[in-house]
Amino acid sequence: MTTLINPEAPVGAPLGKSSRPRDALFAGISRGSGIVVLIVMGAIGVFLLWKALPALSANTASFLTTSPWFPDDAQPKFGIAALAFGTLLSSVIAMVIAVPVGIGVALYTAHYAPRRFAPTLGYIVDLLAAVPSIIFGLWGLQILMPNSIGLWRWLDDHFGFIPLFSNEQNIYTRSIALAAVVLAIMILPTVSAISREVFAQVPPGHIEAALALGATRWETMRTAVFPFARPGMVSAAMLGLGRALGETIAVALILSATFKINWQVTEPGGNTFAANIALKWNEAGTIGLGALIASGLVLYVITFAVNMAARLVVERRRDFSGAN
Amino acid sequence: MAILDRTISDDELHNLLSQRKLPRWTTLATCATAIAGSALLSFISPVSGVAGTAVFAFLLFIVLQTGLSFAVEGKRYAIDRLATTLLLSALTAALVPLVSILLTVLVRGLNAFNANFLTSTMRNVSPRRPGGGILHALIGTLEQVAIAAAIGIPLGILAAVYLVEYGNRSRLARTISFFVDVMTGIPSIVAGLFVYTGFILTLGLQRSGLAAGISLSILMIPVVVRSTEEMLRLVPRDLREASYALGVPKYRTILRVVIPSASTGIITGAMLAVARVTGETAPLLLTTFLTQSINTNPFNGPQASLPTYVWDQISSGTTASIDRAWAGALTLILLVMILNLSARLIARASRVK
Write out chain B's pLDDT in tens, 353 residues. Answer: 445 566 767 776 766 666 677 778 888 888 888 888 888 877 776 656 677 788 888 888 988 989 988 888 888 999 999 999 999 999 999 999 999 999 999 999 999 999 999 999 988 888 888 888 999 999 999 999 999 999 999 999 999 999 999 988 899 999 999 999 999 999 999 999 999 999 999 999 999 999 999 999 999 999 999 999 999 999 999 999 999 999 999 999 999 999 999 998 899 899 989 999 999 999 999 999 989 999 999 999 999 999 999 999 999 989 999 999 999 999 999 999 898 888 888 887 776 44
CA angle (B109 as vertex; B277, A240 as ends), nearest 5: 40
- Residue B290 inside a domain? The answer is yes
User: Sign of the CA dihedral A252, A256, A257, A261?
Assistant: negative
For residues B88 and B154, state if they share a domain. Answer: no
- What local confidence, expressed as pLDDT, does residue B266 receive? 92
Nearest CB partner across the interface for B98, out of A26, A127, A308:
A127
State the burial class of residue A2 (Cβ atoms within 10 Å of its Cβ: 0-12, 13-18, 19+): middle
CA–CA separation, A232 and A191 (whole Å): 10
Residue of chain B whose Cα is closest to the Cα of A277: B189
Question: How close does chain B come to A99, measured CA to CA in Å?
Answer: 10
| Position A52 pLDDT exceeds 90 | yes
Q: What is the DSSP string of A156-190?
A: HHHHTTSTTT--SS---SSBHHHHHHHHHHHHHHH
A31 to chain B, any CB pair closer than 8 A? The answer is yes
CA–CA separation, A126 and B176 (whole Å): 27
B254-290 pLDDT, tens digit each: 999 999 999 988 998 999 899 999 999 999 999 999 8
Q: Facing residues of A77 across strands? A: A70
Instruction: For residue B159, give the nearest of A181, A241, A74, A29 by alpha carbon.
Output: A29
Q: Using a CB-CB distance cutoff of 8 angstroms, which residues of chain B are in contact with residue A308? A: 182
Residue of chain A whose Cα is closest to the Cα of B87: A104
CA–CA separation, B25 and B68 (whole Å): 13
For residues B258 and B335, state if they share a domain. Answer: yes
Residue of chain B whose Cα is closest to the Cα of A213: B4
Which residues between 89 and 128 in chain B have a beta carbon less than 8 angstroms from any beta carbon of chain A?
89-91, 93-95, 97-98, 100-101, 104-105, 108
For residues B190 and B316, state if they share a domain. Answer: yes
For residues B191 and B95, state if they share a domain. Answer: no
> Please, where are the H alpha helices in A176-269?
176-201, 204-212, 217-220, 226-246, 249-254
For residues B152 and B91, state if they share a domain. Answer: no
B1 to chain A, any CB pair closer than 8 A? The answer is yes
Q: Helix (H, G, I), strand (E, B), or coil: what is residue A77?
A: strand
For residues B11 and B58, state if they share a domain. Answer: yes
B15-29 pLDDT, tens digit each: 666 667 777 888 888
Reported pTM: 0.90
- Say how many Å lie between the first and final Cα of chain B, rounded: 45
Q: What is the DSSP string of B137-174?
A: HHHHHHHHHHHHHHHHHHHHHHHHHIIIII-TT-HHHH
Domain CATH code at residue B260: 1.10.3720.10
Q: Helix (H, G, I), strand (E, B), or coil: what is residue A268?
A: strand
For residues B98 and B167, state if they share a domain. Answer: no
CB B192 within 8 A of CB B284: yes
Q: Facing residues of A69 across strands? A: A78
What is the residue range of B249's domain? 135-352
Question: How close does chain B come to A90, measured CA to CA in Å?
Answer: 16
Level-2 CATH architecture, domain A69-320: Orthogonal Bundle (1.10)
Record: contact B189-A142, CB cut-off 8 A = no
A99 to chain B, any CB pair closer than 8 A? The answer is no
Residue ending a domain, choose from B61, B93, B109: B109
Nearest CB partner across the interface for A133, out of B162, B279, B325:
B279
A230 to chain B, any CB pair closer than 8 A? The answer is no
Q: Using a CB-CB distance cutoff of 8 angstroms, which residues of chain A are in contact with residue B90? A: 100-105, 108
- Prediction ipTM score: 0.89
Q: Using a CB-CB distance cutoff of 8 angstroms, which residues of chain A are in contact with residue B251? A: 20, 22-23, 25-27
B172 to chain A, any CB pair closer than 8 A? The answer is yes
For residues B180 and B257, state if they share a domain. Answer: yes
CB B185 within 8 A of CB A307: yes
Residue B324, C-beta contacts closer than 8 angstroms, at least 6 positions apart: B112, B117, B132, B134, B313
A185 to chain B, any CB pair closer than 8 A? The answer is yes
- Residue B129 inside a domain? The answer is no
Q: Using a CB-CB distance cutoff of 8 angstroms, which residues of chain B are in contact with residue A2? A: 249, 252
Of the listed ranges A111-120, A211-220, B49-58, B138-147, the least confidently predicted one is B49-58
CA–CA separation, A246 and A289 (whole Å): 18
Question: How close does chain A come to B301, measured CA to CA in Å?
Answer: 16
Total structural domains within chain B? 2
A277 to chain B, any CB pair closer than 8 A? The answer is yes
Q: Using a CB-CB distance cutoff of 8 angstroms, which residues of chain B are in contact with residue A253? A: 311, 314
A4 φ, ψ to 5°? -65, -40
A135 to chain B, any CB pair closer than 8 A? The answer is yes
CB A244 within 8 A of CB A316: no
For residues B269 and B320, state if they share a domain. Answer: yes
| Amino acid sitting at position A239 | L
- Tell me how far CA of residue A38 lies from CA of A32, A42, B177, B221, B345, in angstroms: 10, 6, 10, 12, 33
Q: Using a CB-CB distance cutoff of 8 angstroms, which residues of chain B are in contact with residue A127? A: 98, 340
For residues B90 and B156, state if they share a domain. Answer: no
For residues B301 and B183, state if they share a domain. Answer: yes
